[in-house]
Amino acid sequence: MKNKNAHINFGIIGSGSWATALAKILTDNKNKINWWLRSDTNIDNFKTRRHNPQYLRSAFFDTALINFSTSAEEVINQSDVVIIAVPSAYAESTLIGLSKNIFSGKKIVSAIKGFLPKGNLLLNEFLKNEFDVELKDYFTVLGPCHAEEVASEKLSYLTFSGIDEGMTEEISYHFKTPYLNPLQNTDIYGVQYAAILKNIYAIGSGIAHGLDYGDNFLSVLIANSADEMAGFLRKAGSRNVEVGSIEHTSKSKDEKKQTNYAASVYLGDLLVTCYSLYSRNRTFGNMIGKGYSVKSAQLEMNMVAEGYNASKCIHIINQKIKAEMPIAESVYKILWNGLAADEGFEEIEGVLV
């Protein structure tokens, strides 16, 4: 076990709502951070107003704890742990021009819930290919945790995953606040796939709502989506899929409970993303169900719905994995092949159990 009281220089690459939420958690714990924002104007406005002028404006910061920079390279060089929290569609363009050895000696924490669409890659796969980052130096922070609820300090849970369990716990310790409980596991690939899949199913949930299906149908749709997700994770090699096999009664309060698919980072994140009005993927799907084109919905939202690109990436990846995924496949056909939403859901109705 590493020293949880050790000082860590955190850097954040990203300036959207989720990056802002993570910055709030760290600075509320009096951690000094290096933070990459895209423009000097945003930085000046942030320093003046003490909040992000574009996202989570109700979250105020002690700016004395923040070293702002428009240079991603500067932020990375000044940090021990680098949190990457840009939308997956923009991750490659943000990182690709950096020096090939810039991540040497660094720990990388992914807060990305999507594939890098150019090569259908998880962030760790891209970092290995481009910067030779080893999996032991790569961690994820995922789970059912809307940025808006972090801003209002409503109790949330985040799961940190890494194969270096000591460092995973050390990093997560710096995020523990009265409103945020950090958890840990070692399932790096499983949690990333689950975070991607739940966005696809949330779009499906939104489409169903837009088509005026009721709560009864949505509960069946989401239950079947959970089963479909578990089947994909099992075929993809996740070790935490089995539910109901863990005996809790013998655990002392100091023993860790083994994680499984019913844990917050898997099923919990699926549920909140499918049901919550904060969910941008559900909102995007709702617009598609009401008749918006994909392009019109994207322009109207002015935010990235990660499940849109993810649906195509999973369609391609599943050609190799070969999991049974009729719900995700129907969502893909609605978004990418021009299948009418009502016709797609007629297909889905026929596979629900």
CA distances, 259 to each of 136, 140, 161, 188 (Å)? 20, 15, 11, 13
d(CA 9, CA 31): 8
pLDDT score for 332: 98
At a CB cut-off of 8 Å and minimum separation 6, what does 136 contact?
A: 162, 163, 164
User: What tokens does 49 get?
Assistant: 């107003």
Contact of 225 with 204, CB cutoff 8 Å: yes
* Average predicted confidence (pLDDT) for the chain: 91
Residue 81 or residue 58, greater confidence: 81
Q: Count the Cβ atoms, other than its own, within 10 Å of residue 235.
A: 16
CB atoms within 10 A of CB 161: 27
Residue 156 phi, psi (nearest 5): -140, 165
User: 248 or 94, which is more confident?
Assistant: 94
- pLDDT of 351 > 90? The answer is yes
> Which CATH number does 10-186 carry?
3.40.50.720
Give residue 333's pLDDT band: very low, low, confident or very high (50, 70, 90): very high
Among 25-29, 135-139, 142-146, the least confident range: 142-146
N-terminal to C-terminal alpha carbon distance within the chain: 46
Token reading at 219: 């509960």
Domain boundaries, the chain: 10-186, 190-349
pLDDT of amino acid 55: 84
Cβ neighbour number for residue 6 with a 10 Å cutoff: 10
Query: What is the four-CA torsion angle of 93, 99, 102, 103, rounded to 10 degrees?
Result: 50
Mark 35-62 as b/e (b = at least 16 C-beta within 10 Å): bbbeeeebbebbeeeebbeebbeebebe
Q: How many CB atoms lie within 10 A of CB 264?
A: 20
Average pLDDT over residues 34-56: 89
Is the pLDDT score of 231 beyond 90? Answer: yes
Q: 234 versus 302: which is more confidently predicted?
A: 234
Q: Which pLDDT band, with edges at 50, 70 and 90, does 255 fall under?
A: low
- Work out the pLDDT band at 256, boundaries 50, 70, 90: low
Confidence of residue 114 (pLDDT cuts 50, 70, 90): confident
Judge whether 71 and 36 are in contact, CB under 8 Å. yes
pLDDT at 254 over 70: no
- Give percent of the chain with pLDDT exceeding 70: 94
pLDDT surpassing 90 at residue 6: no
- Give CATH for domain 190-349: 1.10.1040.10
The predicted pLDDT at position 1 comes to 37
**80 burial type by CB count under 10 A (0-12 exposed, 13-18 middle, 19+ buried):** middle
Band of pLDDT at residue 246, cut at 50, 70 and 90: low
pTM above 0.85, yes or no: yes
Q: Quick count: other Cβ atoms within 10 Å of Cβ 227?
A: 13
Q: What is the pLDDT of residues 266-317, one digit of tens each?
A: 999 999 999 998 899 999 999 999 999 999 998 888 777 889 999 999 999 9
What pLDDT, on a 0 to 100 scale, did the predictor assign at position 64?
94
Give 119's pLDDT tier (boundaries 50, 70, 90).
confident
Mean pLDDT of 323-334: 97
Q: Decide: 194 and 265 in contact? Cβ < 8 Å.
A: yes
Q: In angstroms, how far is CA 247 from the centroid of its own chain?
A: 29
Q: Tell me what pLDDT residue 302 has.
A: 73
